[in-house]
Amino acid sequence: MRELDRWEGKLTWPLFCARVAKVLDVESVSKHTMYLYPSIKEGFQKRQKDIRTARDALPRDYTLEVATRRIADLEAQVKRLSETNELLLDQFRRWQYNAYANNVRMDLLAWDKPLPEVNRSGRSRNKKKTKEKKSA
């Protein structure tokens, strides 16, 4: 999605797929693969529309060209993030209502409990505790 926010110039599926393949360091990515991800498909269509709208509204004063492009990119990013935020808020509200409707006691659930640490060493953390118990 970040590549869509940064996109300048004509936006087509072949050009976008080529850029995504380059970013992912793969040989190629097809349009059909991209269509499997609704958020990418919708983001692409919205960005394409925004580029057309911005192109028609751009002033012809080339001293402001870079600043105008930067503003357009930032506005596209803000718009996308705002829409994503609103979708997440709606989802949270649905979950909250459904929990209430099903008599889930929110105060008894550990919703804000921190996630467990990620063990990247490959060793089990329980081995140390097991050895201590065996020696006792």
pLDDT at 83: 93
Tell me the CA distances in angstroms from 110 to 70, 84, 105, 114, 115, one per residue in order: 43, 26, 11, 9, 11
Q: Which residue has the higher pLDDT, 100 or 78?
A: 78
* Prediction pTM value: 0.46
pLDDT band at 68; cut points 50, 70, 90: confident
Given a cut of 80, is residue 62 above it in pLDDT?
no
**End-to-end Cα separation, the chain, in angstroms:** 55
Given a cut of 60, is residue 71 above it in pLDDT?
yes
Mean predicted confidence (pLDDT) in 69-95: 92
Mean predicted confidence (pLDDT) in 29-51: 87
Answer whether 40's CB lies under 8 Å from 34's CB.
yes
Neighbours of 74 (CB within 10 A): 11
Concatenated DSSP letters for 66-94? HHHHHHHHHHHHHHHHHHHHHHHHHHHHH
